[in-house]
Structure formats: structure tokens, C-alpha cells
Amino acid sequence: MEMTPPASEGQGAEITYVCGIDIGSQSCSGCITRPDKSVVVKPTTFANAREGWDLWEEKLSRLDAAPSQIMIGMEATSRSHENLSHELEQRGYQMCLLHPGQTHHFHQQRGLRAKTDRLDAMTIARTLLSGEARIGYIPGEQVATYRELVRLHTQLSEEAARYENQIQALVVVLFPEFTQVCLPTRADRAPWRCSKPIPMPSPWLRQEKPRCTKCCERFLPLMRGRPTAQKLVALAKASVSSGHALRGRASSLRILCDQLEHTQANLTRLEQELEELITTDPGAKGLQQMPELGPKTIAVLRAELGEVDRFAYIDQAIAYAGMDIKIRESGKWKGKAKLSKRGSGLLRQMLYLAAMRSISLQGSALGAYSQHLVARGLEEMSALMAVMRKMVAVATHLMQTGEDYDPGKGYCQVAEGWKSLLN
């Protein structure tokens, strides 16, 4: 039985045409069909630029239907779809953003072996016509800003960690004794920054004691720069370093330290922007009152959960975060219940770290909740997952209602409006 695609919310017009567009970085392919799957415009390629958009808009304008009666679907492919989608939406067309996994699965169901841009455009249109398409979520301006800053911060943090590991590996080879005096910790990365002005550690330290002393006085004030420099020079004289590929490794060390310094400076600027954004965001007011959540966790919650008003139930937010339980059974066989782990992995990572922090945080209601579950016989990891689910539930409620955070409502009391959070 053929199904007519329903009109989107807020639009009462009946859909008379369905358009599928496959987005590429340089070019796009589009087709137009009717609800009965008859093809009106065969798959056509046009440029992903103003000239190509005008060409496709001309084809759409020739249809005997208003823009509100034309549904246009496209895949969420990185950022390539964003400009065209915004342009068509501003002209009144009904836009539907699809996850690439949906169209890929539909493509396989149809048994198609070939895969081209034109076939993909037709697949997108047929996916919409099937009536089984799940329309994607397009974030608003504020959430999009959160996502850009949070994801860039995560990327730069991973790069900084990689640079630190590479610097450590080089220092261990070039000057093994360096760690005897300057042992780096997570709280103090100054020793690796100290390596920047030391391009060739072992032989260089033997001749450049004044420069080493100045470097240590600048970066290692707690270690008393001059005594530290004297220890490094003494160790360099008897270093067991082979000196192999010294020039190349010293250049690598200098460049990596420079990259690390710039990356850390950019991370600082990003953190300042995130803090300013959180301060001016009314939706983050209640989250800032939760002692278990830091600025990065709050930003990730706002970025990855998005506008929580679209969730009719708290359980929908929990499932969106991938914290719902996946059960697999067949006949007498019953699989182990596990988390579905759908959605944002970054969100679950930050929730895990926040849950771990709540356990050791004095006066934390969520930490008390975890201890209560363990006392009832639940495994520690399962209790930790329950705390993560509770965090999503409480955060969603705070963002939806704009209430102030009250730890008593989250665990000790069964107050009006919070009863669903205790189930």
C-alpha cells in the first residue's frame, strides 16, 4: 500500500511532490517524484553553489505546487548540506534531514548493487515515500554554537595529549635522566614545556648551562631553577643517551613543544568562550548548581542533548543519550542486558567521569544514591550506570523547567514534579 508522506508539524498543506538530494562537496544530485513513486524529474546533477541552487530552484518552481507542498530530503553529511538546506528552508520548502545510516539500510533492503550519486538521490526520495523515515533533528543557533566549541575542544584536547606522549617518548630517548629531576604529572606539564628551549638535551646542556638555568627558573619555579639546572647539567655529562639521530630528534622535539604550546593556548581560549556561553545561557542555570558537573560537562550536555523540549518523556532523553537498556532474547536463550550506547559517545564519556567524581564528592546526592544502590546489592559498575542515567534525567528536567537544582528532590524526597526521576 502506498503511503503519502505526512506534512511536518506546523504545516497543514498536503505533500504533492517529494524531492531527494544527494549532497557532495562540489556537486549535488537531485530527483523529484510524486507520492505514487512516479518520477517527475529524473536524477540530475547540479553544482553545490549559488548557480547550481538557482538551476534546481527553477525546476522546483515549475511544479504545480506551492513550496509548502514540496518535501525535500537530504542526508546529514558533515557540513556540506547546511547551506543548501538553509536556503531551501528559507524559501518555504519542507526540509527533512536523514541519517546516512537510514538511507544505506533502505538501499540494502531494495537489493541494489550499484551505488552512485544519482541512485542515492532516488534512494533518499524513496526512503521518504516509504513512510518509515525518521526525520533528523536540526539544532538551533545556541546548540549549534555549543556543538562547534565542544567538539573542537575535544579534538584539540586529544591532539594535546598526543603531543605530550610524543614529547615524552623523545625526551626518554634523548635525555633519559631528565625524568629523574623533572618528573611530569597530570597536574604539571611544565617539564615538557621546559624541553622547548633545549633542542639537543645531552650535549647542549653541557655547553649552555646559563640558558638552561634561565629556562628552569621560568618554567620550574617550585623546583628552584638554578639547582635544578645544575642537576640537569651534571646528569647530562654522564648521560647514557646514544646520541643517535640527535639533530632530527631535537628538531622534532622543538616542533612538538611548539605545537603543544599553541594547542594549549587555543584550548584556553575555547574554555573561556564556553564559560561565557554557559554564563549567558538560561538553560544552563540549573546545571551550574550541580556540584558534580563542571563547565565542560555542562557544555557537552547542552551540545549533545540539544533542545530538550522535544522530549515528551525523560526516558526519551535517556535513550537519546544511549543509556537505555538493550535486551536480546530468542526462545529459551536470553542474552545479557546491556546499554544500547546509541547517540553521542562524548556525552557518555563525560557522564561517566562526572559519575565517578560524584562517588568521592562530599555531600553529593548522586554519590549517596550510588552508595544506596551498592548497599542494596547492585554491582558497583551497574550502580555507576544508574547514576549516569539519573544525571541525564535530572539535567533534562532542569533544562526543561528552568528550576533551581535541589539535591534533596533528586534522592531523598518524593516531591511533586520529580517523582518520575526516582523510578
Is residue 74 within 8 Å of residue 85, measured between CB atoms? yes
Q: Are strands 329-330 and 94-98 parallel, antiparallel or unpaired?
A: unpaired
pLDDT exceeds cutoff 70 at 207: no
The residue-averaged pLDDT of 270-299 equals: 94
Torsion angle (degrees, nearest 10) of CA 34, 36, 41, 45: 90
Whole-number pLDDT of residue 295: 94
**Grid coordinates representing 299?**
557544555
CB neighbours of 423 closer than 8 A, spacing ≥ 6?
A: none
Going by the DSSP 8-state scheme, the letter that residue 421 receives in this structure is: G
Whole-number pLDDT of residue 163: 92
Residue scoring higher pLDDT (178 or 308): 308
| H or E segment and range at residue 310 | none
- Between the alpha carbon of residue 330 and those of residues 238, 278, 324, 335, the distances in Å are 68, 47, 20, 8
CB neighbours of 225 closer than 8 A, spacing ≥ 6?
A: 213, 214, 215, 216, 217, 218
Q: Which of 75-89, 191-205, 236-250 has the lowest mean pLDDT?
A: 191-205
> Tens of pLDDT along 101-133?
888 888 888 888 888 999 999 999 999 998 888
- Between the alpha carbon of residue 85 and those of residues 92, 121, 305, 311, 395, the distances in Å are 11, 15, 22, 24, 31
- In whole angstroms, give the CA distance from residue 394 to residue 403: 11
Enumerate the H helices of 201-243 as residue ranges. 201-207, 209-219, 225-237
**Grid coordinates representing 267?**
584550548
Q: Which residues pair with 71 in a beta bridge?
A: 18, 94
> Which of left, alpha, beta for 56 (phi over 0: left; psi -120 to 50: alpha)?
alpha
- In whole angstroms, give the CA distance from residue 239 to residue 232: 10
All structural domains of the chain: 17-138 (3.30.420.40), 145-275 (1.10.287.4070), 284-422 (no CATH)
Residue scoring higher pLDDT (118 or 180): 118
pLDDT exceeds cutoff 50 at 193: no
> Tens of pLDDT along 44-97?
999 999 999 999 999 999 999 999 999 999 988 778 888 898 899 999 999 999
> Tens of pLDDT along 29-45?
999 999 999 999 999 99
- In whole angstroms, give the CA distance from residue 118 to residue 44: 7
Percent with pLDDT over 70 in the chain: 82
Dihedral sign from CA coordinates of 258, 260, 262, 268: negative
How many other C-beta atoms lie within 10 A of the C-beta of residue 372? 13
- pTM as predicted: 0.79
Mean pLDDT of the chain: 82
